[in-house]
Structure 1
Amino acid sequence: MSRKRLQQLVDSLGHSTKHFNKSEVECLIKLFDKLVAESSSRFAAAGFDRSMFRDILHSAFGMTEEMMMERVFRAFDRDNNSCISATEWVEGLSVFLRGTLEEKIKYCFEVYDLNGDGYISREEMFQMLKNCLLKQPSEEDPDEGIKDLVDIAMKKMDYDHDGKLSFKDFEKAVRDENLLLEAFGPCLPDIKVHQQKQKCNTMYFW
Structure 2
Amino acid sequence: GLHLCRLRQALSLSRLLNKIEVECLIKQFHTLAVEPSDRHGIVGLDRNSFRNILHVTFGMTDDMIMDRVFRAFDKDNDSCVSVTEWVEGLSIFLRGTLEEKIKYCFDVYDLNGDGYISREEMFHMLKNSLLKQPSEEDPDEGIKDLVEITLKKMDHDHDGKLSYADFEKAVRDENLLLEAFGPCLPNLKNSMEFEMQAFKETHDL
So what's the TM-score if we normalise by structure 1?
0.89
Q: 2:170 corresponds to which residue? A: 173
Amino acid corresponding to residue 150 of structure 1 in structure 2: V
Contact 2:16 2:96 in 1 (8 A): yes
Contact 2:35 2:43 in 1 (8 A): no
Distance across 1 between alignment mates of 2:138 and 2:13: 49
Q: Can you give the 5+ residue segments of structure 2 that lack an aligned partner in the other structure?
A: none
Deviation at 1:24? Answer: 0.7
Deviation at 1:120? Answer: 0.5
Q: 1:162 corresponds to which residue? A: 159
Distance across 1 between alignment mates of 2:200 and 2:105: 31
Question: Quick check: 1:145 aligned with 2:161?
Answer: no
Q: 2:8 corresponds to which residue? A: 11
Amino acid corresponding to residue 163 of structure 1 in structure 2: G
Distance across 1 between alignment mates of 2:100 and 2:42: 30
Deviation at 1:190? Answer: 2.0
Aligned with 2:6: secondary structure? Answer: helix
Distance across 2 between alignment mates of 1:142 and 1:11: 51
* Cα-to-partner distance string for 1:149-201 (whole Å, 9 max, x where unaligned): 11110000111111101111001000000000000011111222222233444
1:191 to 163, 188, 191: 188
Q: Share of identical aligned residues, percent?
A: 66
Q: 2:46 corresponds to which residue? A: 49
Contact 1:11 1:22 in 2 (8 A): no
Q: 1:95 corresponds to which residue? A: 92
Distance across 1 between alignment mates of 2:82 and 2:141: 41
Amino acid corresponding to residue 19 of structure 1 in structure 2: L
Against the structure 1 CA distance between its residues 95 and 199, is the aligned structure 2 distance closer, same or farther, given a 3 Å change threshold? closer
Amino acid corresponding to residue 113 of structure 2 in structure 1: G
Deviation at 1:145? Answer: 1.6
Against the structure 1 CA distance between its residues 135 and 35, is the aligned structure 2 distance closer, same or farther, given a 3 Å change threshold? closer
Aligned with 2:193: secondary structure? Answer: coil
Question: Quick check: 1:73 aligned with 2:65?
Answer: no
> Higher mean Cα deviation, 127-136 or 103-112?
127-136
Deviation at 1:74? Answer: 0.5
Distance across 2 between alignment mates of 1:202 and 1:69: 29
Distance across 2 between alignment mates of 1:147 and 1:135: 17
1:23 to 20, 27, 42: 20
Q: Can you give the 5+ residue segments of structure 1 that lack an aligned partner in the other structure?
A: none
Contact 1:135 1:142 in 2 (8 A): no
So what's the TM-score if we normalise by structure 2?
0.90
Aligned with 1:144: secondary structure? Answer: helix
Contact 2:28 2:198 in 1 (8 A): no
> Higher mean Cα deviation, 182-191 or 134-143?
134-143
Distance across 2 between alignment mates of 1:199 and 1:46: 20
